Amino acid sequence: MDYWQHLKSAVSQIVELDDKTWERFVTIWRVHEVKKGEALTNTGEIEKNLYFVCDGVQRVYYMDDNLKEATLVLTYPYSFAGVVDSFMLQQPSKYSFEALSKSTFLKTSYSQLNKMISEDKHIDQFVKTALYYAFSGLLERMVDLQCKTSEEKFKTLLKRSPQVLQIVPQKYLANYLGIDPTNFSKLMNSVRF
């Protein structure tokens, strides 16, 4: 299956596009490759692109004034990625988006997607519904972080995304879950999954 088929499959899980709409939609996407460690968006920049991950692993993270990092989002094939609030609002980002490994994306610009949203009700519905799902996922994650034990957070992550242990470095998983790296290592050795 090629990149475009993966994109079509991901879009179809959110909303079905007729052939004519799909043919127009696919024209706004371009292949984009980055190296491991490359920043796609830095704090203070306006996110200009929406990405669809084809290969690799990335993260969106926040860094405070003391240089403490908080990994907020992990992305990997086949998901949409980027600093979504900065992208949708076209405001400077409070977060950074970086490739944790060599990565390949399909990407589209804000202006291209916004033009399609205004011209096609099906694309408008796709974007709205995708944002609703993202918001729902964010609320679930907040409950996990605030109400669950480290072991429960770890098990929930593995239930949602069992492949993450093979593709995301452990230090980023620990940070994402808000677990001390030493405790995360202990969980890896003690929790049955």
pLDDT digits (tens, 9 = 90+) for 45-73: 999 999 999 999 999 999 999 999 999 99
Total number of domains constituting the chain: 1
Does residue 1 carry a pLDDT above 60? no
pLDDT value, residue 192: 65
> Is the preceding omega at residue 62 within 30 degrees of 0, hence cis?
no
Confidence band of 180 (pLDDT split at 50, 70, 90): confident
Residue 8, in any domain of the structure: yes
Distance of alpha carbon 95 from alpha carbon 107, whole angstroms: 19
Residue 95, in any domain of the structure: yes
> Domain range spanning residue 8?
3-119
Does residue 184 carry a pLDDT above 90? no
Burial of 118 (0-12, 13-18, 19+ CB in 10 A): exposed
Q: Which residues make beta-bridge pairs with 69?
A: 63
- Phi/psi of residue 134, each to 5°? -65, -45
Return mean pLDDT, the chain.
92
Residue 93, in any domain of the structure: yes
pTM over 0.75: yes
Does residue 87 carry a pLDDT above 90? yes
Residue 25, in any domain of the structure: yes
Identify the CATH number of the domain in which residue 114 sits.
2.60.120.10
What's the rounded mean pLDDT across residues 131-137?
91
Residue 135, in any domain of the structure: no
Residue 165, in any domain of the structure: no
Residue 156, in any domain of the structure: no
Sign of the C-alpha dihedral computed for residues 8, 14, 17 and 23 taken in this order: negative
Residue 41, in any domain of the structure: yes
Does residue 104 carry a pLDDT above 60? yes
Residues 6+ apart with CB under 8 A from 118: 124
